[in-house]
Structure 1
Amino acid sequence: MTTVGSVWQISHLDLIVRMVLAVVLGGLIGLERELNNHAAGFRTHILVCLGSATIMLLSEYGFSDFVNEPNVRIDPSRLAAQVVSGIGFLGAGAILRNGSVIKGLTTAASVWLVAAIGLSVGAGFITGALVCTFLVLISLYLLNKWEKHFLRHRRTHEIEIMINEHPGFLSLVTSRFGEQGIQVTNLKMMPGSESSLVSGNTENTPMMHLIFSLRCPKHEKLLAAYEQIAALDIVVRMEAANFIFHKKVA
């Protein structure tokens, strides 16, 4: 029987405080992800942080009745180790790939960090959890703004266009980028794997698959160019970050 004040016991008040604190800290990080429309948002981060804290509390205090058993060895870090390795499946679900562009790595990292914060809160390492949350919020919010401002002239955007092969088709597309002051840094061309009808023609027209790498500091100009290109009759499909267009053929 363990004595009162044993390291293997925790009061109900301390238990509630730690679990509520895990919800608050996880929610703060999740709120920033939610406001920026990322895959893992407010509730996901809360659940991960609360779950990690609960597992840590279970590992520390859930088996206190067996501490004095001669054949039982208590190791509070065993369940925590499984959380650290097992949380990867949630992070993998937040990572998306569109062509050569990979999105969601930061959100996956934030989910992993929230699990660490939950474990810290559950273990009573409150100062470490608070400092970690503060630094994560600075990284996600303030450093994100600084990064966008500092790299605004160096950021490369990629767009894939499926287009009907037509005389002068390349100049029709590139001229729309030029009108918006967008620099084409790289271009890949390959035959399309499908065919489509052009302007009501009854004959199948060969297609080309174009992949443009672009440099443009202003997102509004990119969207304007995308809309102009999508309006061309010879364009069948376009895919870029935050922009997808598929022509409906009657």
Structure 2
Amino acid sequence: MIELLSGGFSTEFGLAAICSRMAVAAGFGLVIGFDREVRSVSAGLRTHMLVSLAAATFAILAFEIVAQATREGIDNADPVRIIEAVTAGVAFLAAGTIIRGGDRVRGLTTGAGLWLAGAIGLACGVGAWAVAFLATLLGIVILTVLRHVERILALKPRTASRDAGNGR
């Protein structure tokens, strides 16, 4: 199997680079998805990991397509279209997590987390490790630290039952 992967066809990056980019994308997606999993929302660990991995795969494919087109003398290959398609696809998934009920909207943070996982995956796919790491780090700060700040400042109630008891 490894022989088929490494020698059966040529790649621009090589098997080790592809594996590392995909693994880091899935790992960073896990970090972002962990917060959602802990809060028992529908899009948790696996969803964020898959979105990030898929985005990395599309980014790698964009490079592979351009490299193959260049080898074949085609000079109008446009990898940006793949990145645009990934962005639109992830936005579609993220929008599906948003639910409006009465005067409440739920799932916005999960949707934004999925969109971030897609961006992190794209960064990993193109080899922009520092961008992916920084986005993951800042995403965790936003998801965890700011939640505590909101609660301290009483900007958000802790539970739905507390909302009912306060007549909100």
Asked if these proteins are the same fold (TM beyond 0.5), I'd say: yes
Corresponding letter in the other structure for 1:86:
G
User: Which of the numbers 45, 57, 60 marks the counterpart of 1:57?
Assistant: 60
Q: CA deviation at 1:88?
A: 1.6
Summarize the Cα distance change of 1:112–1:221 in structure 2 as closer, same or farther, 3 Å threshold: closer
| Displacement over 6 Å in runs of 4+ | none
- Evaluate the alpha carbon distance shift between residue 16 and residue 148 of structure 1 in structure 2; reply closer, same or farther with a 3 A threshold: same
Whole-angstrom CA distance in 1 between matches of 2:164 and 2:99: 25
CA, structure 1 residues 75+140, in 2 after alignment: closer, same or farther (shift >3 Å)?
A: same
- 1:40 partner SS: coil
Give ranges in structure 2 of 5+ residues lacking alignment. Answer: 1-10
| Kept after mapping to 1: 8 A contact 2:66/2:79 | no
Match of 1:35 in 2: 38
Output one character per residue of 1:205-237: Cα deviation in whole Å (capped at 9) or x when no partner.
Answer: xxxxxxxxxxxx6759738959xxxxxxxxxxx
- Structure 1 residue aligned with 2:107: 104
Q: Is the 8 A contact 1:39 1:104 kept in 2?
A: no
Asked if the contact 1:19/1:54 (under 8 Å) is kept, the reply is: yes
- Which of 132, 136, 152 is residue 133 of structure 1 equivalent to? 136
Equivalent AA in structure 2 for residue 77 of structure 1: V
Q: Distance in 2 between matches of 1:91 and 1:75?
A: 25
1:187-226 matches, within 5 Å, as 219=159, 222=162, 225=165
Report the secondary structure of 2:105's partner residue: strand
Q: 1:34 offset after TM fit, Å?
A: 0.6
The corresponding residue for 2:92 is: 89
Distance 2:160 2:93 in 1: 33
1:68 Cα offset (Å): 3.1
Query: Within 5 Å, which residues of 2 pair with 1:224-239?
Result: 225=165
**TM score, norm. by length of structure 1:** 0.57
Q: Paired residues, what number?
A: 158
Corresponding position: 1:142 with 2:145: yes
Cα RMSD (Å) of the superposition? 2.6
SS in 2 for 1:38: coil
Give the direction of change, closer, same or farther, for the CA distance of 1:142–1:24 in structure 2 (3 Å limit): same
Whose helix proportion is higher, 1 or 2? Answer: 2
Cα-to-partner distance string for 1:181-218 (whole Å, 9 max, x where unaligned):
xxxxxxxxxxxxxxxxxxxxxxxxxxxxxxxxxxxx67
> Which amino acid is 2:59 matched to?
M
Which structure is higher in RCO with an 8 Å CA cutoff and minimum separation 6? 2
Per the alignment, do residues 223 and 140 of structure 1 end up closer, same or farther by CA in structure 2, a change over 3 Å counting?
closer
SS in 1 for 2:96: helix
How does the TM-score come out when normalised to structure 2?
Answer: 0.84
AA aligned to 1:92 is: A
Instruction: Point out where structure 1 has 5 or more consecutive residues left out of the alignment.
Output: 1-7, 156-216, 227-239, 242-250
Indicate the structure with greater strand content: 1
CA contact (8 A) 2:120 2:136 kept: yes
Distance 2:136 2:165 in 1: 40
1:14 maps to which of 14, 17, 21: 17
1:48 to 29, 48, 51: 51
Mapped to 1, the partners of 2:160 and 2:117 lie a distance apart of: 34
Give the aligned partner of residue 212 of structure 1: none
Larger Rg: 1
